Chain A
């Protein structure tokens, strides 16, 4: 499907209440009122994220650092052989993904970009979604952007995909007939049975979630929210997730990257 038709499908999926005016999508959060879920964490969880010696996500980052310099695939090359020191070559890269890929004609998220390099440049099989290796490398690359502002590329080819992501974010779905925006734009800061509803910024991903006892991707987080809405989650890697990730990054533009984030 072209972006335009997929957009139309996403819009058509918005439920129409008979005889009622379609409610206008929730208002976006004013830029200066945006805050990371980090701000609402307990003092202990903040300290855990802040201190690299106690942040459990760092273990994954260290695995990623090792993979970065390990040769792989038929090329016999490591990431470092082509990109050198990630501290300089990967700085800011996570902050500008998803980015437009001219070959597929669509945005690719950081995990997809890493797997593309693995296949094309290293001549190695891609890592599976949510595999330890893919999360580790993604966390290692993303940590090189820690403290950098989220900077979605100013690329007009991304615009239709941002709109699809926005439409999905505002569409009601699932048995509970909720939209992402109803919680994250309209009710952030309130208590959902004791959990503070965050604004849903993607700035800490991959995160270490204490509930998961592991690193997890942004797609895993989106999947969790869809299950909560009693909506059928998409398969990992689905275009819809990437479009939502792109919209979330656009929505968080200018906010600070914090990978590896810690979340309860």
Chain B
């Protein structure tokens, strides 16, 4: 049940809900895209020798991609749950400071199923950037790099 759908809900409450939804969506999108691309960059940049070694010992590009994409999905899902938990804390703090105890049940639908699904979808869509980046970098990494002396 939406708080704004409660009969007699005041217009400012509806506005606050809308703003909060938009902010959470934008935040989720920005965090997930940044995390996905940044983590893909970290994996392929700081683990060049590791990836090159795997290629050297017989991993195909596809094998390495599977590992990296798996890691990206794992990390992105965890980042989603962290953001989800953060939202719960924001709700809790907001409710504690601005809402009375008896109105809290009305406020709890702030985290609704719809926006949650949208957020998950956003997180997954955001991974595409990271996956594409990882794909390109893994393809370019030559196994011969593993033979170079590390400083």
A-B interaction: no
Interface residues of chain A, those whose CB is within 8 Å of chain B, are: none
